[in-house]
Amino acid sequence: MKDQYDTKGSYVTEGQEFKRDTNYITDRILADPEAEWPVESGRYRLIAARACPWANRTMIVRRLLGLEDAISIGMPGPTHDKRSWTFDLDEDGRDPVLGIERLQEAYFARFPDYPRGITVPAIVDIPSGAVVTNDYNQITLDLSSQWREHHRPGAPELYPEHLRAEMDPLIKLIFTEVNNGVYRCGFAGSQEAYESAFTRLFDALDTLEDRLESRRFLMGETITEVDVRLFTTLVRFDAVYYSHFKCNRQRLVDFPNLWAYARDLFQTPGFGDTVDFVQIKQHYFIVHTDINPTQIVPVGPDLSGWLSEHGRDERFGGSPFGEGTPPGPPSAHDSVDPAHTAEAWIS
């Protein structure tokens, strides 16, 4: 039996349906000075590769909430081996704050015999050099709820209490059927498993397409956590998932509402300015050698459409930040290489 490994340490066995390993380090950083891991500006470092959709969501939320000064960020390069993500983009191949070459070192500093995948995003305690959590589902929720003291003025309310009863089922749908659904297609171990995954994915996308017919964002007139979670899959869809993961009933650009919605988000500060299309493509097409043994990275598709008019502001009104304000421009350290952006496709 042959195993194929995905970017989060999960695998699929030939002939079977893809199963994601969802056992993570579930420690939380809390707004409680007596907690094992208390909120403390400057103490923690977020490790998040631009290529990874799960990590990308933490980068977006950190930007939207203005937590750049409170939580520093380290960014591994787009490729990794079975051992770990590496800091190959940094000088001397080491994270300049943690001083490590591989993220694996931070996991082993906490758990010397850590048996699972070395995944991003991960939050590392700088004084000890040990990983605190890699629970990507909870990390962004805690950035919203536990780090309020460090939010910028005008930061959005991404997980408002009065909407959670409606949001939580939508979060579950987006994770199981879309975020994970594209992987279920790409890592299917049989034709039957692939076709089942394919149907589930596009049924969910059709449901979201219908929902966005009558509202600007998934919860109404302003952005929330669910928009962040859907966006990181949508922004990778045509560039990677359509071809690489065989999610090819139709492209994102063929969904009128989803495509306009995705462009609306992409052009909102904090979303598109975190997206590195070159690293995204390099990651999937180079790392997944079972799917793409030649490791050839496609040149296309043309990405300039991400900057085209979406018309959803005129159609629905509202504002991404409601009564708040957008974040300022990213710092030089947080900025994407201009050659890796949608603007690079405009001649």
Cα Rg of the chain (Å, integer): 19
* pLDDT, tens digit (0-9, with 9 covering 90-100), for 99-123: 999 999 999 999 999 999 999 999 9
For the stretch 251-291, pLDDT in tens is: 999 999 999 999 999 999 999 999 999 999 999 999 999 99
Predicted local confidence at residue 15, as pLDDT: 63
Domain with CATH 1.20.1050.10 in the chain: 164-345
How much is the pTM? 0.95
Predicted confidence (pLDDT) at residue 62 exceeds the cutoff of 50 = yes
Q: φ, ψ for residue 217 (rounded to 5)?
A: -120, 170
- Residue 251, both tokens: 């492209």
Tokens linked to 138: 């909870």
Q: What is the pLDDT of residue 347?
A: 65
pLDDT at site 14:
61
Mean pLDDT of 299-314: 96
Q: How many CB atoms are closer than 10 A to CB 127?
A: 9
List the catalytic residue out of 11, 183, 241, 242: 183
pLDDT at residue 240 greater than cutoff 70: yes
CATH 3.40.30.10 spans which residues of the chain?
3-150
- CATH pick for 3-150 out of 3.40.630.10, 3.40.50.300, 3.40.30.10, 3.40.190.10: 3.40.30.10
Query: Which candidate, 165, 255, 175, 266, places its Cα nearest to that of 223?
Result: 266
Q: Which residues contact 323 (CB under 8 A, 6 or more apart)?
A: none
Chain centroid to Cα 5, Å, comes to 18
Respond yes or no: is residue 52 known to be catalytic: yes
* 44 counts as catalytic: no
Task: Give dist(CA 38, CA 48) in Å, integer.
Answer: 21
- Predicted pLDDT at 315: 96
Q: What is the CATH number of domain 164-345?
A: 1.20.1050.10
Say whether pLDDT at 12 is over 60: no
* Catalytic entry in 52, 159, 185, 247: 52
Mean pLDDT confidence for 199-208: 98
* CA separation for the pair 3, 187 (Å, rounded): 10
Mean pLDDT of 236-241: 98
Of the chain, the end-to-end C-alpha distance in Å amounts to: 48
In contact, 224 and 167? CB cutoff 8 Å: yes
Kindly give the pairing relationship between strand 122-125 and strand 130-133: antiparallel
